[in-house]
Structure 1
Amino acid sequence: MRNGTESVGASSSSSLSSQQDTEDDRMIALVLSEEYANLDGAVARRLSNLAPVPHVPKINSYIPNMNDASLDHQRLLQRLNVYSLYEVKVSGDGNCQFRALSDQMYKSPEYHKHVRKEVVKQLKDCRSMYEGYVPMKYKRYYKNMAKVGEWGDHVTLQAAADKYAAKICLLTSFRDTCFIEIMPQHQAPKRELWLSFWSEVHYNSLYDIRDAPVPKKPRKKHWLF
């Protein structure tokens, strides 16, 4: 009985610690979100002459082969150069869409788990808004999307736009579509989020080159000299 009691106590302690960590992340994200809530018009001014293509939410399907992906990437790099834009590169670990959104909202990609959780809650709570775009059992779709490492798609982008009342703008590598605009469906946008989209491969966070964040030097461990 003693071992059983110790096990229950340890489990309860672990659960409380996890809940506290989640609450801490939520509070930090809220503070940062309020701090960076002002519209960033610098990128918009760069692309003011481009006509945006209306967004059609869809799940991931076609993945380009290596040759097509390479050509697409070159096209994207050329567009970044033409419009004097700068990418903050995020990890390509399956979380890149959520990392890029996190960087735009909180000036750090590290809140991607919080962003994913909020987007999945939007998908779950507002099923009627997104179910028609998902050609599979909807519950299975949003449960899969809740998993860290699951690729975000154009349905999650629409859900993010709705959740955060944000106009999400994509500079893309598509041959015939340079600029896609994703608007919240039932409210006016309160902020703009800018991402680059290497089509069906990777998302990064996008800035006017004059506003490019200065990379932070990693902290030295106290035992390193």
Structure 2
Amino acid sequence: MTNVIHYEAGSSSSTSVSSQGNETNDDRMIAEILSEEYANLDGAVGRRLSSLSSIPHVPRINTYFPTVNDASLDHQRLFQRLNAYGLFEVKVSGDGNCQFRAISDQLYRSPEHHKHVRKEVVKQLKESRSLYEGYVPMKYKSYCKKMRKSGEWGDHVTLQAAADKFGAKICLLTSFRDTCFVEIVPRNQAPQRELWLSFWSEVHYNSLYELQDMKVKYKPRKKHWLF
């Protein structure tokens, strides 16, 4: 991945993204090129947010959790952004599976297939170990075993694995102070779809839709894809 902006481990979610001169300019240029390249794939949410500057994604495990005060400010910031862009969150359960539930909702119009999503993500982690191991500061087998458990929080490594497994560009509208838009692009393939999630940083994920299209688009899909 070319010239990425790194998150500072252990820093407040309000200052989670750091940038440095030329790298920031390069990242924005890459984001603009990607935005144009995938314009034909964009749905309503993508068109609504096309003017936003995005940054490439850096996989990382969860190492920091915000204080109650920071989390409250972050949630308020995210709420304001949702309103500003006319977006609607399909709220999923905060049972530790929220990342997988939100991805399930985007893929299948139901959060209830999160176990299948988690299983596929863990399979991707195991089968393509070399792609992710460098981002995991613990024994990799132990990490995969942990992620296999229902209720284990997904992280930015599992987001990358999900993008790779499902051939999807995952777009996050975040509560980060320094940037509100982060995208995770699948490696070694062009994305076949886009998944839109809201990210209350280090706390919760929800599934994201454009408010005016919500009633028309949100129709549960049949389960035949599981078989």
- Report TM bin, short chain: 0.7 to 0.9
State the TM-score, normalizing by the size of structure 2. Answer: 0.77
- The one of 65, 70, 78 equivalent to 1:63 is 65
SS in 2 for 1:212: helix
Amino acid at match of 2:203: V
- 5+ residue gaps, structure 2: 1-39, 220-227
State the TM-score, normalizing by the size of structure 1. Answer: 0.77
Q: In 1, distance between residues paired with 2:47 and 2:96?
A: 31
SS in 1 for 2:205: strand
Q: In 2, distance between residues paired with 1:97 and 1:43?
A: 19
Shift in Å, 1:39: 4.8
Shift in Å, 1:213: 4.2
- The one of 112, 115, 123 equivalent to 1:113 is 115
Please list, as runs of the form range in 1=range in 2, the aligned pairs for 1:4-15 lying within 5 A after superposition.
Answer: none
Give the equivalent residue in structure 2 for 1:146: 148
Give the equivalent residue in structure 2 for 1:41: 43
Query: Could you say what the CA RMSD is over the residues aligned between the two structures, in angstroms?
Result: 1.5
Give percent identity, aligned residues only: 78
Q: In 1, distance between residues paired with 2:86 and 2:104?
A: 22
Please list, as runs of the form range in 1=range in 2, the aligned pairs for 1:1-225 lying within 5 A after superposition.
Answer: 39=41, 41-213=43-215
Q: In 1, distance between residues paired with 2:179 and 2:113?
A: 30
Shift in Å, 1:177: 1.4
SS in 1 for 2:212: helix
Whichever of the two has the greater Rg, that structure is: 1
Alignment: residue pair count: 179
Give the equivalent residue in structure 2 for 1:8: none
